[in-house]
Amino acid sequence: MNGKKVKVSCFNCGQTNNYPLEAEDKKVICGRCHSPLPRPGDVLEVNPDQAFSLISRSSLPVLIDFYSHTCPPCQMMAPFLERLARRRAGELMVIKIEVDRYPEMAAQFGIQSVPTFAIFHRNSERGRISGAMPETDLALWVAKLA
């Protein structure tokens, strides 16, 4: 793993950067805006501005989990998303939007139930699916679209 880098998009400006995996606990910053970069493989809880930045500017596909803390199916899906994000580190950004905290964003995307998953790439929605599902089904759905 020495010297290996994976791609990660800045959730501030959307710039895709090469993230050195050996950085581990060190702060890695965006080459464009100098904001701290998220660690590859992390599921990121972002605000609407950060989400729109990633959707519109990231060269990596972005998987959004629209969820609620009070939703048992959402809680069931959380570990699946974490494992998916780790497996697809450098290939996919995984973000979460809490619909109770950001209802305007949920309305803007027409979210009517949670969990709802949507994949965007280069400012275009590639697909969406709602409800809890087996981990393999989620992974296959993502692989088909991202």
* Enzyme catalytic residues: 71, 74
Q: 54, exposed or middle or buried, with CB in 10 Å at 0-12, 13-18, 19+?
A: buried
Q: What DSSP designation does 12 have?
A: T
List the one residue out of 63, 84, 66 whose CA is nearest residue 74: 66
- Here the contacts of 122-127 (C-beta below 8 Å, separation 24 or greater) are 122/59, 123/55, 123/56, 123/57, 126/61
Rounded CA-CA distance 122/19 in Å is: 20
State yes or no: cis peptide before 36, omega within 30 of 0: no
